[in-house]
Structure 1
Amino acid sequence: MKYRNLGNSGAIVSELTLGTMTFGAEADEATSHAIVDAFVDNGGTFIDTADVYSAGESERIVGRWLSANPEAAKQIVVATKGRFPMGDGPNDLGLSRRHLRTALDASLTRLGVDHIDLYQMHAWDALTPIDETLTFLDDAVTAGKIGYYGFSNYLGWQLTKAVHRAAALNIAPPVTLQPQYSLLVRDIEHEVVPAAIDANVGLLPWSPLGGGWLTGKYERDVPPTGASRLGEDPKRGMEAWEARNADERTWTVLAAVEAIARDHDATASQVAIAWLLTRPAMTSVILGARTVDQLVDNLGASDLELSDSEIARLSDASAPRADDYPYGSAGVAQRDRKIGGGR
């Protein structure tokens, strides 16, 4: 396992993060604890959860593991999130000071800790002034309840606005952004990634395997069956599966991934994750697993070194589309600058 700075902070985390959305849902507590054991045994130090995962049960499961393993827990960097509904009341959601105060205290209780290393806003809240959210987070840092803060699922302009308001308020800046990002989902490279680079914010991508597609387990025009999320519940996301299956780009990307995997005697999952680790502003890639075997396979990506030509092959095969305005015209302008044109 290799290690990196947590965004623009001085904290150090493993370059692969254990995501725990499956805990209490697709993985029972015994399986979840075995997954954490395997993660730690392989050098993992960064665990990500959220209050909304299994209605708080994921945090409780993580908390009970931390309590049962006090020595190992000393090296664990814990991240969680707040924003989505945790009750039926009008103040049981959002990024208001009112909701975040109760949400943070509840997360601390479920995790069984007095301090959360990274507290993340799970999504933008258009109803709450950004200054209200940022000053709450700064107060939480000052109170010692959190070490750092970050965002998840923010657009480029939302991240940039938050960064500049934090600077104007003379408070600590965000350190991370957690977006969806993979070889199959690269649209954030248009504006979100440049915004993160500009703000010196580290990326913590979720769904690095494109909802399972980059494991190589799906076949063209064959609906999934068996022990998989879609196989066990075909109605769940089947429309998205059909769209991905019909997109020729999906199969171009998978062909490149699988060919490189064969050359390295690696798995498709490892290749996809290893590519993501090479991207700009990358801090740590979040791995979700339903079984220990899945996790251990994915952790092998940390030892996989892709050549420059292999990275380029994967990048070319998966290049995000930029045909629509303004991205298409911006691409033309960028090309003209490179060749000295003046159009």
Structure 2
Amino acid sequence: MEYRRLGKSGLQVSALSLGSWLTFGQQISDKTADELMGMAYDAGVNFFDNAEGYAAGKSEIVMGKILKAHKWERESFVVSSKVFFGTENKGPNRVGLSRKHVIEACNGALSRLQADYLDLYFCHRPDKNTPIEETVWAMNTLLQQGKILYWGTSEWSAAEIMEAIRVARQYNLIGPTMEQPQYNLMERNKLENEYLLLFKEYGLGTTIWSPLASGLLSGKYTAKKTADTRLELKGMEWLKDAVLNEDKLKKAQELQKLADKLNTSLAKLSLAWCLKNPNVSTVILGASKPDQLKENLTALEVVPLLTDEVMGKIEDIVQTRPKIVQF
């Protein structure tokens, strides 16, 4: 396993990490979740990603039980939670980024994960109803209390992250260390365009999600077969429509041909492509089956195959490179 610094911080995270969105507490059994975490940990994965909103809090409960049962040394792994969407019970002050919810959500996550502190704590989405100052101060309260070690954002715009950094500097507080954006061969603008100044000037780290574009780049949907996949989960109709897009499917089929020529899988080719970006701190893997995870954990082996020539062929197929605006 390769380890990378989380942006300019001193924290080292495994280049490949394991996430729990749509799987833990929902799509897979607790036994399978246990097997997946054990397999990942044994392969050198040290970062496990979670959120209060995943399976309405059940995902964190499952992960917490697994962490306690394995009795891994606390220093050997990094665990995260995210605040915004709330858990099962919605209502005033139970969602968003107010000081009340940020702090109460952190306490809730610690209880569900059976942890004394969170290594990483993300603002899961921007909150238009809460001043950024309030959220930055709340995060610093948790930092001072030792309940979190680093805080960051997920799916924030560059302008919103810059505002959080500005507020932190104005009041001598600790600003965001990392962002968790979607990044894959089909979705590239934030990492390759919008965030470039944040990487250069502030050393922002990234924990990217959906590297396989919700399974599109795994190869399993090219025949439009979705049985027993996350696309058939209740409430995932929007995701199914996005993934089974004709243009994207055609591109995935062409990428599959290229992967075949390189004697690798489409999934590993797509993961290796993400890993090749120097602004990616860690690639979060999602898995519902042990064989699937075992295969994808070897994606680092494919990175050397991505020569300039191969990268050019990939660009010719996807044609998704964002147009960088020069100021």
1:31 and 2:25 are equivalent in the alignment: no
Deviations 1:134-158 (A, max 9, x none): 0111121111111000100111211
Q: Residues 207, 53 of structure 1: CA spacing in aligned structure 2 closer, same or farther, 3 A cutoff?
A: same
**216, 236, 252: which one aligns with 1:213:** 216
TM-aligned CA deviation for residue 173 of structure 1: 2.2
SS in 2 for 1:85: coil
With over 3 angstroms needed to count, the CA separation of the structure-2 counterparts of 1:129 and 1:302, relative to structure 1, is same
Give the SS at the match of 1:100.
Answer: helix
* 1:56-109 Cα distance to aligned partner (Å, 9 max, x none): 111111111111122354411111111113323311011111111110001011
Kept after mapping to 2: 8 A contact 1:197/1:280: no
SS of 1:166's equivalent in the other structure is helix
For residues 28-56 of structure 1, the C-alpha deviation after alignment (integer angstroms, 9 at most, x for no partner) is 11110000011011111110000111111
Equivalent residues, number? 321
1:9 partnered with 2:9: yes
Counterpart among 194, 203, 209 of residue 206 in structure 2: 203
Does residue 1:81 correspond to 2:79, yes or no?
A: no
In 2: Cα distance, 1:99 partner to 1:313 partner:
47
Question: Which residue of the partner structure matches residue 156 of structure 1?
Answer: 158
**Residue 184 of structure 1 contacts residue 250 of structure 1 at CA under 8 Å; is this kept in 2?**
no
The Cα shift of 1:23 comes to 0.2
SS at 2:25's partner residue?
Answer: coil
2:214 touches 2:243 (CA, 8 Å); kept in 1? Answer: no
Q: Does 1:67 align with 2:105?
A: no
Contact 1:121–1:150 (CA under 8 A) maintained in structure 2: yes
Q: For 1:158-197, what per-residue CA distance to the aligned partner results, in whole angstroms no more than 9, with x for missing partners?
A: 1121122212221122111001110011232464332431
**Equivalent residues in 2 for 1:131-142 (5 A)?**
131-142=133-144
Residue identity in the other structure for 2:115 = V
Sort the Cα spacing of 1:205 and 1:316 in 2 relative to 1 into closer, same or farther, 3 A. farther
Q: Equivalents in 1 of 2:294, 2:25: separation in Å? A: 20
Q: Answer yes or no: is the 8 Å Cα contact 1:66–1:73 preserved in 2.
A: no
Q: Is the 8 A contact 1:204 1:286 kept in 2?
A: yes
% identity of equivalent residues: 33
Distance 1:188 1:134 in 2: 22
Tell me the equivalent position of 2:277.
279
Larger radius of gyration: 1
Q: Which amino acid aligns with 1:301?
A: A
Partner of 1:292: 290
Quick check: 1:253–1:314 contact (8 Å CA) kept in 2?
A: no
**Letter matched to residue 16 of structure 2:** L
Match of 1:312 in 2: 312
Tell me which of 177, 180, 197 is aligned to 2:179. Answer: 177
Q: 1:196, 1:281 within 8 Å by CA — same for their partners in 2?
A: no
Per the normalisation by structure 2, the TM-score is: 0.91
Distance of 1:237 and 1:97 partners within structure 2: 31
Q: What is the TM-score of this pair, normalised by structure 1? A: 0.87
Unaligned 5+ segments in structure 1 are: 335-343
- Structure 2 letter corresponding to 1:212: G
CA RMSD of aligned residues (A): 2.2
- Cα separation, 1, equivalents of 2:319 and 2:206: 19
SS of aligned partner of 1:210:
coil
Where structure 2 has 5 or more consecutive residues not aligned to the other structure, the ranges are none
Change (3 A) 1:319 1:279: farther
CA distance in 2, matches of 1:71, 1:231: 34
